[in-house]
Amino acid sequence: MVRQHVNPLSRLHQRLEPLPRPGDLFDDPSLPLHLDIGSARGRFLLAMAALKPELNHLGLEIRRPLVEAAEADRRRQGLGNLRFLYGNANVNLPDWLPLLRPGQLELVTLQFPDPWFKLRHHKRRVLQPALLLALAPALAPGRSLFLQSDVEALITPMRQLVEASGGFQVAGPETCGPAVNPLPVATERERQVLAAGLPVHRSLYRRTASPLPTLAELEAAVGGTDNRHDAEAD
């Protein structure tokens, strides 16, 4: 279960082209959208798109070769409700999410992101305060944010960030928990972890109508950093 790390703060991944407009991505742009951040090789979304044709599915991945391979599979399977795009969530999504129609974003999934264990690398983690404050307004009340990891030291601060925002309510254990995945498809990493007899940590949040804090307020609450503009070399 080797992770292939990519530094999202490198200059290469900070200077990306804008994503295509939402209306240009799918056969039927009117369908509700499932956004999977860090879609990797894409097998999870390939299965989800076939199983859930009533949704459009978009995978955003920072490793270009994985995007190209996943897109090739998508085209071979003729899945018009699925796309894979190369991008950096913290760079691309804040400007792209406001282009969605109100209520279009149905579900955001963030599963098994790179943990970046060293303290000085925490700013490389994908779920930063600025990204959460970009995602939350795009999710109408009742829409969902799903987090999943095999690293408790990673999902704990992710949960703390979401809950500190005041804009989400966590689902109960009967809906989501170590033994309950609310999604009908498991990721490759999830299957590997469970096969090894290791725990998977999951949280499902529903967006509420509560107002959100400012970026400064949220960063102060969790001690977070905005990783969009702090470029580093690989």
226 assigned to active site: no
Residue tagged 């609310």 (tokens): 182
Residue-wise pLDDT for 141-181, tens only, equals: 999 999 999 999 889 999 999 999 999 999 999 999 999 99
Helix (H, G, I), strand (E, B) or coil at 124: helix
Mean pLDDT of the chain: 89
For 188-220, write each residue's pLDDT tens digit: 999 999 999 999 999 999 999 999 999 999 999
Q: What phi and psi, each to the nearest 5 degrees, are found at residue 90?
A: -75, -20
Average pLDDT for residues 41-48, to the nearest whole number? Answer: 97
Q: Using pLDDT thresholds of 50, 70 and 90, give the confidence band for residue 17.
A: confident
pTM score: 0.90
**Domains of the chain by start residue, with CATH:** 33-200 (3.40.50.150)
Contact partners, residue 75, CB within 8 Å, separation at least 6: none
As a whole number of angstroms, the distance between CA 231 and CA 208 comes to: 33
Which of the residue ranges 72-86, 101-115, 120-134 would you say has the lowest mean pLDDT?
A: 120-134
Show the tokens assigned to 186.
Answer: 């498991």
pLDDT at 119 over 80: no
**pLDDT for the residue numbered 115:** 61
- % of the chain residues with pLDDT over 90: 80
Catalytic residue among 27, 28, 36, 114: 114
What pLDDT is stored for residue 123 in this prediction?
Answer: 72
| Whether pLDDT at 27 is above 50 | yes
Of 108, 131, 100, give the one whose Cα is nearest residue 24. 100
How long, in residues, is the chain?
A: 234
